[in-house]
Structure 1
Amino acid sequence: MDKAKPVSTPFPSHVKLSSKQSPTCEKEKENIAMVPYSSAVGSIFLSKPGIEHWNAVKWILIYLKGTSKMRLYFGGRKPVLIGYIDADMAGDLESKKSTS
Structure 2
Amino acid sequence: MMRSIYILIIFLFFSLRIIAQVNLVPNPGFENFIPGDTFCNAGPIIGTPPWLSPTGASPNCFKECCWNQGWAIPQNTFGFQYTHNGIGYAGFGVYSLP
TM-score strictly above 0.5: no
**TM-score normalized with structure 1 length:** 0.23
Say which structure is richer in strand.
2
Higher relative contact order (CA 8 A, sep 6+): 1
TM-score, length-scaled by structure 2: 0.24
The structure whose residues are more often helix, as a share, is 1
Task: Give 1 or 2 for the bigger CA radius of gyration.
Answer: 2
